[in-house]
Amino acid sequence: MKNILITGGAGFIGSHLTRLFVTKYPDYNIVNLDKLTYAGNLENLRDIESAPNYRFVKGDIVDMEQMRAVFKQYNFDGVLHCAAESHVDRSITDPLSFVKTNVLGTMTLLQAAKEHWTGNMEGKIFYHISTDEVYGSLGTEGFFTETTAYDPRSPYSASKASSDHFVRAYYHTYKLPVKISNCSNNYGPYHFPEKLIPLCIHNIIHNKPLPIYGKGENVRDWLYVEDHVRAIDTIFHNGKVGETYNIGGHNEWTNIALVKELCRQMDEKLGRAPGTNEKLITYVQDRAGHDMRYAIDATKLKNELGWLPSLQFEEGISKTIDWYLANTEWLNHVTSGDYKKYYEEMYAGR
Residues that bind ligand DAU (CB under 6 A): 86-88, 131-133, 184-185, 195-196, 199, 211-213, 218, 220, 255, 287, 294
Name which of 277 and 335 has its Cβ closer to ligand NAD: 335
Q: Exactly one of 54, 156, 170, 324 is catalytic; which is it?
A: 156
Does the active-site annotation cover 343?
no
Q: How far apart are CA 61 and CA 11, in angstroms?
A: 14
**Torsion angle of C-alpha atoms 59, 64, 69, 70, degrees rounded to 10:** 40
* SS3 label, residue 104: helix
Does the active-site annotation cover 27?
no
Which stretch, 28-36, 278-286, 314-322, 342-350, contacts ligand NAD (CB under 6 A)?
Answer: 28-36
Judge contact between 17 and 9, C-beta under 8 A.
yes
Residue 70 binds: one of ligand NAD, ligand DAU, none (C-beta under 5 to 8 A by kind): none
Q: How far is the CB of 96 from ligand NAD (least distance, A)?
A: 13
**What letter would DSSP give residue 144?**
B
Q: Exactly one of 77, 133, 194, 227 is catalytic; which is it?
A: 133
Residue 7 binds: one of ligand DAU, ligand NAD, none (C-beta under 5 to 8 A by kind): ligand NAD
Contacts (CB under 6 A) with ligand NAD, residues 156-175: 160
Q: What is the DSSP string of 267-318?
A: HHHTTPPTTTGGGGEEEEPPPTT---B--B--HHHHHHH-------HHHHHH
Does the active-site annotation cover 304?
no
- Residue spans of beta strands (DSSP E) within 108-193: 125-131, 178-183, 185-187
Residue of 154, 162, 185, 244 interacting with ligand NAD (CB under 6 A):
185
- Per-residue contact flags (x/-) with ligand NAD for residues 44 to 83, judged by CB under 6 A: ----------------xxx-------------------xx
| Residue 258 contacts ligand NAD per CB under 6 A | no
**Burial class for 68, CB neighbours closer than 10 Å (0-12, 13-18, 19+):** middle
| Residue 13 contacts ligand NAD per CB under 6 A | yes
| Residue 10 contacts ligand NAD per CB under 6 A | yes
- Residue spans of beta strands (DSSP E) within the chain: 2-7, 28-34, 54-58, 78-81, 125-131, 178-183, 185-187, 210-213, 219-224, 244-247, 252-254, 281-284
Name which of 18 and 255 has its Cβ closer to ligand DAU: 255
Amino acid (1-letter code) at residue 114: K
Judge contact between 190 and 44, C-beta under 8 A.
yes
Size of the site for ligand NAD (CB under 6 A): 29
* SS3 label, residue 31: strand
Which residue number is nearest to ligand NAD in terms of Cβ?
11
Nearest one of 225, 230, 153 to 185, comparing CA atoms: 225
Residues labelled catalytic: 132-133, 156
The binding site for ligand NAD (CB under 6 A) comprises 7-8, 10-14, 34-37, 39-40, 60-62, 82-84, 86, 101, 105, 129, 131, 160, 183, 185-186, 192
